[in-house]
Each structure stands twice: as C-alpha cells, then as structure tokens.
Structure 1
Amino acid sequence: MTMGVQERKGHLYQVMTHKYITPLVDIAGCVPVLVPTCCGVEDLEAYLDMADGVYLTGAGSNIDPALYGQENLTPEKTQDPDRDHFDLPLIRAALDRGLPIFAICRGMQEINVALGGNIHQKLYTVPGVMDHRENPEDPVAVQYGDSHGVDLKPDSWLAEAVGGPSIRVNSLHGQGIDRLAEGLEVLGRAPDGTIEAFHAPAISSFMVGVQWHPEWQAAKNPVSVKLFEAFGDACRRFSAQ
C-alpha cells in the first residue's frame, strides 16, 4: 500500500486511513506493508521483493494532468506529485513481476495513466454525465451511501462473483476515465456510461480497478467482500508460485 502526503501545521506527513487498511486485513487476509512515496523510487524493487500484491487506494488528491499530456483544469484541487511519481512506475514494475493489483478510485485512474490512458478532469461538465461527486455538507455515512447502479459485463468474473448483472455503488469522484489504456477491458459502467470497473486479462492474471469505494464498511457489503476476497486469493496464488 502506498501512502500519500498530508500537511499538518507546517509539517508534511505520509498517511493512510484505517478504512483502506482494515478490509485488507479482515477480509482479504493480507498483511499490509505501507510504503512511503516521499523518498523517490530507488527502493521500489526492494518493496516489491516483499510483496505478493499491490493495493492502490483512493486519496483526496488528483493525478498531475501533465502526466497524461494535459493542462491542469482544476488548480484548486490538491495534488501529490510524490505519489504520482512513485505509483506509476510501481504499476509497471508490478505488472512485469506478475503481481496482483487491486486499485480503488485514484488508484484505478493511476493504472489507466500508467498504461497510456487519460482522465476526464471535470467529469461533471461532460454533457449527459451525472455529477458523481459527493455533497461535502452531507454526513460521511450519506456521502458513502449507495448512489447509482453499475451494469456489469455479462458473463464476466465480477458478474459471476456477485451473482447478477448489476450492482449499486457509492460515488465520490469529480474525475473519471476518458480514453481507456490499451490492454484494459471494461467490467462495469454507470448508467451515464462512466467506466466504473475494469480488468486486464490480456496482461495480468489479476488487475482490477474500481471507481467507487468498496473499502467503506466493506464487511457489510457483499460486493466489497467478494472484491477483497478475490484480491487476497490472488495474492496467495502468487505467493505459492
């Protein structure tokens, strides 16, 4: 798990919230190794030597648009250059090793950028697309409550895992995938066409990205349980090789 920057009273911290860690332990059955992103990539391979999988979480920051060839259209939003410049090579190195990868929200977008795709910086301004952002005035439980449906790819492993053609998910993102990177395949879309889940069976035995937040009260959500269990099982298969 890579961490992100947070400023507190003039000091920079590397942080990771409990909500991402606990389902990795309690449901996936994994031992988390939290990796700082503030020291560059010199030790990246050493961290991967300890890993049976890579777990990329969401964050309050956006990916630097320069990394996918665009100007920054949301300068008011927080960025985390250290995480950008650690996670993108991390993704490519993990793929080279065949490591399972599970990515949430920002992490999903990182995979797309790392492999050559790009991002809608203001998804909520695209004609015909719903506003996927949460209301910051709402209580946290409301922000992370179910917001819309996701139609799953028929006969896909995710549709089979959850036992149906669609699921309900929360929605807390202002950006989303625009051009999907080569090698990625859509697993699910919101009713407005927004890509909500992908995998990459042609390039990875397990690389799953989701735009929603399955980590939120994961143990109470059957879909979240399936996702974290699948990731844990993939890590154990890698470890057994």
Structure 2
Amino acid sequence: MHRPVVGIIGNSYLINDQYPAHAGGTMNSEAVAEVSGCLPMLIPSDPRLVGVAELLEVCDGFLLTGGRPNVHPEEYGEPETPAHGAFDRGRDAVALPLVRACVERGQPFMGVCRGFQEVNVAMGGTLHPEIRELPGRMNHRMPPDGSLEEKFALRHKVRFSEGGPFHRLLGAAEVMTNTLHGQGVKTPGARIVIDGWAPDDTPEALYVRDAPGFTLSVQWHPEWNAAHDPVSRPLFAAFGAAVKEFARARRGGARALSA
C-alpha cells in the first residue's frame, strides 16, 4: 500500500522577477513525509490547471501552507487597501472552495498561517490587514534580519481553551510558538471556534465546529523543526493519523463497491 497523499497548496512566485513558478517550502514537505507519514504532493495554486473535485479524489488530505501573498479582501466583502499587501487570486480560487468541500466531506486538512486565515475566510470570517497597528497588539511579523533559526525562533506563548482539542492533543494549556504573520482573524466565520490566543489576544488556533474530519489550524508555523518540536510533532502526527484513517475508509468503501 502506498502512503496516503497530502496535497500541499503552493504559492505563485516569479523567480528573478521573470520566471513564473509554483513553489512550496521544503519544510512543509518534510513535515508531511517525516512526521505525518504521508506522501507530499505540491498543488499548483491556479484554477486553470486544477479543479477542486479532482483534487478531492487524488488527495486524501490537504496542508494549507503559509505564504507572502494574502487572501484578497474581496473574499470577505471588504475593499482592497495598501495595508492588505500582495495577493494570489489563483490560490484564493483554489483554496477557499477546497476548504468548504473538505468540511462537507470530512476530508482532513490543516491550515498554517495564511492557511489558518483561509479557513476562517472560507467559512465566512474576516481578517485584520495589519494587526500590529491595532491598539494593544504585538508585532507578529517575521523579523526582517537574521538566520532562519532566528526568524523561526519561539517568540510568544499561546494559551488554549481548557479541555479543548488543542489542550487535549498537546497535553498543555499553554505552549511556546514562533510568529511570522502580519494579518490576523478579525471576525470568526460560521462554525469557526477560536481555541488558542497569543498574549495580546490575537487568535492563534482554530477548528471548525461539528466538522466530521480533522480541521485543526494554527496561525504559527509548526512545519519548522516539526520532527523535534514538542508542539509541532503531535500536530503533524495527529493530522497524519486523520489522513490515513480517511484514506483507509475511502479505499475500503471502494473495494466493497467493486466486490
């Protein structure tokens, strides 16, 4: 039996400001392969090339990654401003309906950073374009200088709801995480449950209420050092277990129909 397939939502980039490419961070693929125990497959973020229905059939689960482009504010009914930054409308067109379809089908996904925000927007929520400009909020953005180790270093605590899914999974009511984001959740979407907060009350962990599949998503970047970090490893392990269970159930049903 081959490993279950996790589709990793990529981002559109221009290499050397000229060559268009679909890209995904190596650490995302490493976390999926080495910790989740699944086969990572990079998905082009372009609706001209891929369709949601076929992605749902080819992949068993999805990792909605981080990325420099932000979800376009038109997706949650607000006008574009300079504070909203760069966009990837192709990714919006793939990821947002994909999230809604996965929720309906019980197909596992995990959102990370931009992916966390995509889950909220897909379910009808809104975003702050620049949370560091809000009164009493921290600067959650990636440090502009330093090594990758310094940029992905643990920088603040996240507290979870007592007895909530993150508390139960991680065995702690409070953990340390990195932080590399500029936008944040403003209004939670329908069925979105905020289950973790930074010290300044910025939402950091969520899930979809009553969804039949895995929907745990985080604002930080657990793919960094995922094999060894005590917070990242159980997250990716639990995601992998959910993907494997979904794949087993789907293939078992297919065998039954062909018998």
CA distance in 2, matches of 1:67, 1:157: 28
Deviations 1:124-147 (A, max 9, x none): 111011111122122221111011
Matches within 5 A, 1:42-61: 43-61=51-69
TM-score (norm 1): 0.95
Matches within 5 A, 1:161-172: 161-172=169-180
Tell me, yes or no, if the aligned pair for 1:40 and 1:85 is still in contact at 8 Å.
no
Pair 1:83-2:83 in alignment? no
Q: What is the Cα deviation at residue 29 of structure 1?
A: 0.4
Tell me, yes or no, if the aligned pair for 1:200 and 1:207 is still in contact at 8 Å.
yes
Change over 3 Å in CA distance of 1:179–1:138 after alignment to 2: same
Task: Give RMSD over aligned pairs.
Answer: 1.5
Matched residue, 1:226: 234
Matched residue, 2:13: 6
Matched residue, 1:102: 110
Tell me, yes or no, if the aligned pair for 1:56 and 1:101 is still in contact at 8 Å.
yes
Q: Please say which of residues 161-170 and 222-231 is displaced more in the overlay.
A: 161-170
CA distance in 2, matches of 1:62, 1:76: 7
Matched residue, 1:173: 181
CA distance in 2, matches of 1:59, 1:17: 9
Deviations 1:76-124 (A, max 9, x none): 8321111011111111122222101111000010011111000000101
1:135 match: secondary structure: coil
Tell me, yes or no, if the aligned pair for 1:5 and 1:15 is still in contact at 8 Å.
yes
Matches within 5 A, 1:45-194: 45-74=53-82, 77-194=85-202
Gaps of 5+ in 1: none
TM-score (norm 2): 0.89
CA distance in 2, matches of 1:114, 1:197: 16
Deviations 1:145-203 (A, max 9, x none): 01100111111232122222100000111100000011011221011111000112412
CA distance in 2, matches of 1:41, 1:154: 43
Tell me, yes or no, if the aligned pair for 1:40 and 1:86 is still in contact at 8 Å.
no
CA distance in 2, matches of 1:157, 1:42: 33
1:199 match: secondary structure: strand
Pair 1:195-2:195 in alignment? no
Tell me, yes or no, if the aligned pair for 1:74 and 1:121 is still in contact at 8 Å.
no
Q: Please say which of residues 131-140 and 229-238 is displaced more in the overlay.
A: 131-140
CA distance in 1, matches of 2:183, 2:84: 14
- Residue identity over aligned pairs, in percent, reads 33
Q: What is the Cα deviation at residue 70 of structure 1?
A: 1.4
Counting matched residue pairs gives 241
Gaps of 5+ in 2: 1-7, 250-259
Tell me, yes or no, if the aligned pair for 1:41 and 1:86 is still in contact at 8 Å.
no
Q: What is the Cα deviation at residue 39 of structure 1?
A: 4.0
